[in-house]
Structures are given as structure tokens and as C-alpha cells.
């Protein structure tokens, strides 16, 4: 199997499905039915293939596996390669993407009536982009996928979304575009500051020697991109809008996979490539994470819209993740990865849970519900499981991630750990409060009396998510094993680089770095370099 370009197959097979869907002919009904079937079967095949990736993956190695390399663009000295590969961290994000796509397609089986063909095409394209992001090992290739993902998501929110969908889709697109374009400039700066010039992620990772001043600028540029994706306070405001307006499956992908891009980026690029800058900005990250965790928890508490509540809880959970990443201990980063995976499953499931009642009653207003336990016992059970997983009950996936993060952060900063721990309490508060209002109590409204319980299709959608949540909670080692070696590798590099810099500091030439601060590159001359400077640069 190893001589097959398995990773490319997983990445681009959805596009083959797109081709088939485009060939579908006939009246609207037939086309819609064919599109659904083709999309579901394609995404299931992709998922099965991605399972092969997991089976064949060597968990003891921290190197990139399933590596593929081909020349892509060669213009002058500037060459971009089609370089793909995954390590323990990206493996599970790839799996998460391939798992959620068929579930999303199944979840929208009946709730999407108009333009079904286009909807399915958008989801399959989205899958290609998501898998591509996590397996790209060239900066430009990464960037192409990273920005390409905006297009289908923009259309999904804008075409099939709620009443304020246009505002939400534009906000989503423009926020993320600005961030990612800034990171593009950083990528280009990386290119010119490596010897030999390269945009290859592996090459840069192997030899990340940027001066500390440069590291800070690069770190900030990447921060602009990833912080918007995470999203971190205060650039989180696009998320509640996007979630509320997106169709259920759109929210699932958004919460399940797209929010992970930010955390993934921090782990993959910021930590190992700019270790000194990461250390320098850790207090900032801790502060923003703590604000995100506590502030958004309180905001979640007062929401009247179910989706908005879960959206704010997502921001809080992702605040945990960024905190864990920048604690920069092995446990905390592992915890951050597990927390992201767990959140990918749990928040995706919670959005599906909201989708179930939304499909029946067409409202997400919490006040319109109540007492569903009577009419929908299965639903109440499923909701409870995911609600508790979101709270972080031991035995569910949510616990493992949060526990590891707290454990690792405690070593880095006790205060931060304390602040984060209050959020566990707040999280329990808003989730239990939501659950009580929707599920318990007596049915007071007539329209709720006719609500039907989960259909077999819906059960089939929830079953794998539930199983995985419990698996990850009860025996996390099957996930942690491949993650551990990759994370250890990254954390170790960052620590070594910091230690080297610390020990090098006193021994540098007198007069150059004797003052406490390190010089940032000068900001003047940036619009036009004086002739003399330009000449020196060109040499």
C-alpha cells in the first residue's frame, strides 16, 4: 500500500465525486437524489481510505509519513513543490475532516431542499481543502488550501444560511482573508530569510534560525491569521454570526474542523519556527486565552439562541487550547491537540443536536423549548452525553484534554491554571442551564407535543461521534500515542532553541546586545528603501 499516493488520494478523491455530481442529469428531483448519493458514497470511501492512513501510521516516529513530493511551480529561483505528508498531529485532523464530512452530508439529507447539487459540491470541495491544509508541507501549498477553504464555506453560509447570512458570510470571509494575507507576507519573508531560499515546511523546521527581532514580526503575522481562525478574543466576533447563520452542517464543519486550523497553525509553525518569539508573547497569549475562557463563558450564559450559546462555548474551549499550546510543556500541547479533537467531535455533535430540533421546529430560541425529555427520550440521552462531554466529565474526551492542559499549564503558570479552572465551573453552569431549559420541565407548548424522536438516520449520525467521544475519554492512549512523539519533538526543539538563546545572550559581542531588549527591525524605510540600502540588499 505504501507505494500508493494514499495521501493525495484522500485529498483529491472528493473532487472526483464533484466531477460525477456535475455529470448528473435529469429533473431537479433526480439530480438532487443522485448528488446526495454520490456525495455520501464518495465521502465514505474517503473516510475508509483515511482509516488506512491511521492503520499504516507508525506512531513511534515523529517524522512526516506518507510523504509525496513533486515539482509544481518553478519561476526563476522561486520554486514551489507539491509536498505532502502527515505526522501524528495532522493525522487525526485529517481523520476528523474525513469523518465529519460524511456525517454532515448525512445530516443535511432532508434539511437542504434547494440547490442540493451545488451544496454537495461545496462540501466535497471543502473536504479536499481541509485535508489539504493538514497535509501540505509547503508553505505556498498550505496557503492555497488555507485560503481556498474560504470559498466553499462562504457559499455554504451565504446560500443556505439563515436570515442574516449575507452579513455573516462577508464578515467570515473578510476577517479571515485579512489574517491569512498577512501570514502570506510572513511566508514570503521566511522564504528570503532561509538559506537556501525555500518555502518547504520540513526544510524550515529542520533549520529555523531567524533572528529574534524577525521572529517577532513573523510570529505576529502568523498570529493575525491563526488568532482569527481560533478565534481568540477580541477577533472572535465573526464566529457567533457565522455559526448562527450557517446551516447545521456548515456549523459542524466550522466548529469541528475550521476552528482547529488556528491551533494547528500555532503548533505546526509558530512554536517550532519562532520559539523565541513564542516565549516572548506567551504572556500575551495567556492573557488573551484567560479573557476568552472567562469572558465568553459569561457571554454564553446569557444567550437565548442555542447555536450562539454553543458558539461562545467553542470560543471558551479554544481559549483552553491556545493556553495549552503556549504553556509549551509536552503535556499541555498534547492536551491541546486532544482538546481540539475532542472539541471537534463534541461541538460538531452539539450543533447536530441543535439541528435536530431546528429541523422540526425551525427555531433555535431556547425559550421556545422545554420538557423535550418526555417526547424525545433518545434525543435527551444523546444531548446529555455530549453536554457532559463538553463540560469535561471524566470518562468523556473533554476531560482528557482539559486535564492534560491544566496539568501542563500548572507547571508554566499557576495563576493561568487557576483562571482556566474557573472556566470549568462556568462551562458546567451554562451547559447544564441550557440542558435544563431545553430538555427538562413540563411541556407547555402544543407544538412540542408532536415532536418526533430521533430517526434512524439521525441515530446513525450520532452513533460514531458518541462512540469516539467515549473511546477518547476511556482509553485516550490510542490517540495520544501517535501525537506524543510529534509533540515531544516540537516542544523539545522550542525548549532547546530558547536555552541556546539564553546561554548565547551574555557571550554576544559587547555593545550589540548588552541592553535588555532585543531590537525589532526598524519600521522606517519600509515604503521605499533609500537607493543605498536597496543596492546592499540586492547583493
Partner 1 sequence: MPIVPLPDFGPALPEIVLAIGSLALLLIGVFLGERSTRLVSWLSVITLMAVLALCGTFGMPHRLGFYGMFVTDAFAVFMKMLILIGSAISIILSLHYNEERHIDRFEFPVLILLASTGMMVMVSANDLLTLYLGFELQSLALYVVASFDRDNARSSEAGLKYFVLGALASGMLLYGASLIYGFAGTTSFAGLASMFEHGVTPSVGLVIGMVFVSVGIAFKCSAVPFHMWTPDVYEGAPTPVTAFFSVAPKIAAIALFIRFLVEPLGGLLAEWRQVIVFLSVASMVVGSVAAIAQTNIKRLMAYSSIGHVGYALIGLAVATPDGIRGVLVYMAVYLFMNLGTWAVILCMRQKGRHVEAIADLSGLGRTHPGLALALGIFMFALAGIPPTAGFFPKLYVFLAAIEANLVGLAAIGVVASVVGAFYYLRIVKVMYFDEPVGAFDRPFATELRWVLAVAAVITFFYVLVPGPIAGGAEAAAASLFVK
Residues at the site binding partner 1, with contacts judged by CB under 8 A: 72-76, 78, 115, 118, 140, 143-144, 147-148, 150-151, 154-155, 158-159, 165-166, 169-170, 173-174, 177-178, 181-182, 184-185, 188-189, 191-192, 525-531, 533-534, 537-538
Show contacts of 411-416: CB within 8 Å, 24+ apart.
411/327, 411/329, 411/331, 411/332, 412/282, 412/327, 412/328, 412/329, 412/332, 413/286, 413/327, 416/286, 416/289, 416/290, 416/323, 416/327
Nearest Cα neighbor of 68 from 136, 139, 128 is 136
Distance, CA of 497 to CA of 275 (rounded, Å): 6
Q: What b-and-e string marks burial along 421-440, b requiring 16 or more CB atoms within 10 Å of the CB?
A: eebbebbbbbbeebbebbbe
71 vs 436, beta carbon nearer partner 1: 71
148 vs 441, beta carbon nearer partner 1: 148
| Radius of gyration from C-alpha coordinates of the chain | 23
188 vs 428, beta carbon nearer partner 1: 188
For residue 76, the minimal CB distance to partner 1 (Å) is 6
39 vs 336, beta carbon nearer partner 1: 39
For residue 492, the minimal CB distance to partner 1 (Å) is 31
For residue 12, the minimal CB distance to partner 1 (Å) is 12
C-alpha cell at 485: 512523539
For residue 231, the minimal CB distance to partner 1 (Å) is 17
For residue 75, the minimal CB distance to partner 1 (Å) is 4
217 vs 369, beta carbon nearer partner 1: 217
167 vs 433, beta carbon nearer partner 1: 167
For residue 74, the minimal CB distance to partner 1 (Å) is 7
SS (H, E, C) 272-311: HHCHHHHHHHHHHHHHHHHHHHHHHHHHHHCCCEHHHHHH
Describe the crossing of helices 397-412 and 456-474 by its angle, rounded to 10 degrees.
Answer: 40
DSSP strand pairing (78-86 vs 65-75): antiparallel
For residue 439, the minimal CB distance to partner 1 (Å) is 35
For residue 259, the minimal CB distance to partner 1 (Å) is 21
68 vs 453, beta carbon nearer partner 1: 68
- For CA atoms 88, 120, 243, 462, the dihedral sign is negative
The DSSP secondary structure of 233-274, one letter per residue, reads: TTS-THHHHHHHHS-HHHHHHIIIIITHHHHHHIIIIIHHHS
183 vs 330, beta carbon nearer partner 1: 183
228 vs 491, beta carbon nearer partner 1: 228
Give SS3 for 376: coil
Instruction: State the CB neighbour count (10 A cutoff) for residue 455.
Output: 14
2 vs 526, beta carbon nearer partner 1: 526
Kindly state the DSSP code that residue 81 receives in the 8-state scheme.
E
For residue 251, the minimal CB distance to partner 1 (Å) is 18
For residue 143, the minimal CB distance to partner 1 (Å) is 7
Distance, CA of 105 to CA of 198 (rounded, Å): 39
First to last CA, the chain: 48
Amino acid at each position: 500500500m505504501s507505494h500508493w499516493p494514499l495521501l493525495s488520494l484522500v485529498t483529491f478523491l472528493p473532487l472526483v465525486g464533484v466531477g460525477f455530481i456535475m455529470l448528473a442529469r435529469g429533473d431537479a428531483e433526480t439530480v438532487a437524489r443522485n448528488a446526495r448519493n454520490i456525495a455520501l458514497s464518495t465521502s465514505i470511501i474517503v473516510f475508509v481510505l483515511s482509516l488506512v492512513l491511521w492503520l499504516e501510521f507508525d506512531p513511534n516516529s515523529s517524522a512526516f509519513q506518507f510523504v509525496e513530493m513533486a515539482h509544481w511551480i518553478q519561476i526563476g529561483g522561486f520554486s514551489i513543490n507539491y509536498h505532502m505528508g502527515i505526522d501524528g498531529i495532522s493525522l487525526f485532523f485529517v481523520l476528523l475532516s474525513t469523518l465529519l464530512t460524511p456525517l454532515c452530508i448525512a445530516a443535511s439529507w432532508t434539511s437542504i431542499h434547494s440547490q442540493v447539487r451545488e451544496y454537495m459540491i461545496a462540501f466535497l470541495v471543502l473536504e479536499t481543502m481541509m485535508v489539504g491544509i493538514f497535509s501540505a508541507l509547503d508553505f505556498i501549498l498550505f496557503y492555497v488550501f488555507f485560503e481556498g477553504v474560504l470559498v466553499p464555506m462562504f457559499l455554504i453560509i451565504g446560500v443556505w444560511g439563515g436570515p442574516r447570512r449575507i452579513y455573516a458570510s462577508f464578515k467570515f470571509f473578510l476577517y479571515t482573508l485579512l489574517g491569512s494575507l498577512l501570514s502570506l507576507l510572513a511566508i514570503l519573508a521566511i522564504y528570503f530569510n532561509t538559506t537556501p531560499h525555500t518555502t518547504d515546511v520540513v526544510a524550515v523546521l529542520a533549520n529555523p534560525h531567524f533572528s529574534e527581532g524577525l521572529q517577532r514580526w513573523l510570529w505576529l503575522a502568523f498570529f493575525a491569521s491563526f488568532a482569527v481562525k481560533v478565534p481568540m478574543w477580541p477577533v472572535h466576533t465573526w464566529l457567533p454570526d457565522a455559526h448562527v447563520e450557517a446551516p447545521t452542517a456548515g456549523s459542524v464543519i466550522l466548529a469541528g474542523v475550521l476552528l482547529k486550523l488556528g491551533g494547528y497553525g500555532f503548533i505546526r509553525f509558530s512554536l517550532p519556527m519562532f520559539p523565541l518569539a513564542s516565549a516572548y508573547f506567551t504572556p500575551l497569549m495567556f492573557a488573551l486565552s484567560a479573557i476568552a475562557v472567562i469572558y465568553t463563558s459569561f457571554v454564553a450564559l446569557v444567550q437565548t439562541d442555542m447555536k450562539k450559546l454553543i458558539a461562545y462555548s467553542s470560543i471558551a474551549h479554544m481559549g483552553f487550547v491556545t493556553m495549552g499550546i503556549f504553556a509549551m510543556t509536552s503535556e499541555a500541547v498534547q492536551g491541546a491537540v486532544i482538546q481540539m479533537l475532542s472539541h471537534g467531535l463534541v461541538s460538531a455533535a452539539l450543533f447536530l443536536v441543535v439541528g435536530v430540533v431546528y429541523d422540526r421546529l425551525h427555531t433555535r430560541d431556547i425559550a421556545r423549548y422545554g420538557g423535550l425529555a418526555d417526547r424525545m427520550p433518545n434525543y435527551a440521552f444523546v444531548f446529555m452525553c455530549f453536554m457532559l462531554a463538553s463540560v469535561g466529565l471524566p470518562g468523556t474526551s473533554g476531560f482528557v484534554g482539559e486535564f492534560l492542559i491544566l496539568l501542563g499549564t500548572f507547571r508554566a503558570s499557576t495563576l493561568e491554571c487557576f483562571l482556566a479552572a474557573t472556566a470549568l465551573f462556568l462551562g458546567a453552569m451554562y451547559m447544564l442551564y441550557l440542558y435544563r431549559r431545553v430538555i427538562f420541565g413540563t411541556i407547555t407548548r402544543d407544538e412540542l407535543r408532536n415532536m418526533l424522536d430521533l430517526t434512524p438516520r439521525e441515530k446513525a449520525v450520532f452513533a460514531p461521534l458518541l462512540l469516539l467521544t467515549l473511546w477518547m475519554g476511556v482509553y485516550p492512549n490510542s490517540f495520544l500515542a501517535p501525537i506524543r512523539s510529534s509533540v515531544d519533538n516540537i516542544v523539545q526543539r522550542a525548549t532547546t532553541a530558547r536555552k541556546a538563546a539564553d546561554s548565547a545572550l551574555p557571550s554576544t559581542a559587547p555593545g550589540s546586545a548588552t541592553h535588555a531588549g532585543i531590537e525589532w527591525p526598524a519600521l522606517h524605510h519600509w515604503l521605499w528603501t533609500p537607493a543605498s540600502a536597496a543596492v546592499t540588499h540586492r547583493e
